[in-house]
Amino acid sequence: MNLGFDPKSMGKKIERIPQKYVLIVMVVVVLLFVGALYYFVMIPQLETKARVAKEASDLRAEVENLRDIKRNIAKHRQEYARLQETMQEVLRQLPETKDIPNLLRSVTMVSEESRLKVRQFEPKLIRNKDFYSELPFEMKFQGTFSNLAAFLDGVRKQERIISIADFSLEAKGAPNNIIIEGTCDANAYMYLREPVKQAAPPVKGAPKANEPPKTK
């Protein structure tokens, strides 16, 4: 009694399956994979980003308060040192510089280790927030589902926070050898020592630029 697995026999059985059912299975597999990526990778990344951003905001307020203290320096020296140490930990995840070359090297290294082919890593316009900036990139890639999963896991383990979202995936190839091509948006983050100042709203009734003031 032969219970061995015969790839040729299995391949012939798959070929006899109507093409529409094969396509339905491929679509379901892609949807399940994207859902799993979002649940196990994206949600933890977003939670980490929110936690670190809140910690950075709280720590900045504490450091500013300590700077205003001119008396009893010795009393507050130990607390200040602790805050500085914690701030350095935050800055390792939210650097104060763009450091694009180092960021690109990190992504390239992770892609090589995961065997995911990154065909494009294009920077976009920087978006300034309250006390940090987003450094967005568009990434195009090709590989297997396992390559993509390994790449995302490697990015998650990087010291610098890099969030990945807005996946667009297309499956190609035979059902037993699916290759995916896709794009996604990646965001790195940069800490701003000085918060971005919002422009003051115009005063009601004030003259516009190059407009002489009205006289009664």
Residue 209 lies in a domain: no
Q: What is the mean pLDDT of residues 45-55?
A: 76
Strand partners, 120: 140
Confidence of residue 115 (pLDDT cuts 50, 70, 90): very high
pLDDT of residue 209: 47
Q: What is the mean pLDDT of residues 45-51?
A: 76
CATH number (domain holding residue 173): 3.30.70.60
pLDDT of residue 85: 77
Residue 185 lies in a domain: yes
Tokens 């990344």 map to which residue? 45
Count the domains in the chain: 1
Share of the chain above pLDDT 70, in %: 71
CB 80 within 8 A of CB 56: no
Residue 109 lies in a domain: yes
CB 90 within 8 A of CB 52: yes
Confidence of residue 116 (pLDDT cuts 50, 70, 90): very high
Q: For 194-203, what is each residue's pLDDT tens digit?
A: 655 554 455 5
Q: For 139-187, what is each residue's pLDDT tens digit?
A: 999 999 899 999 999 988 887 788 888 888 888 877 778 888 999 998 8
Residue 57 lies in a domain: yes
Share of the chain above pLDDT 90, in %: 10
Please provide the average confidence, as pLDDT, over all residues in the chain: 75
Q: For 65-92, what is each residue's pLDDT tens digit?
A: 777 666 666 666 777 777 777 767 666 6
Between CA 79 and CA 113 the distance in angstroms is: 41
Residue 5 lies in a domain: no
pLDDT higher than 80, residue 49? no
Residue 78 lies in a domain: yes
Segments forming the whole domain that contains residue 22: 16-191
Residue 207 lies in a domain: no
Residue 163 lies in a domain: yes
Confidence of residue 97 (pLDDT cuts 50, 70, 90): low
Confidence of residue 1 (pLDDT cuts 50, 70, 90): very low
Residue 8: both structure tokens together: 């040729």
pLDDT higher than 80, residue 37? no
pLDDT of residue 111: 92
Q: For 3-24, what is each residue's pLDDT tens digit?
A: 555 656 656 666 666 777 777 7
Whether pTM > 0.75 for this model: the answer is no
Rounded to an integer, what is the distance from CA 155 to the centroid of its chain?
9
pLDDT of residue 147: 92
State the Cα angle at 166 between 164 and 171, rounded to 5°.
Answer: 105
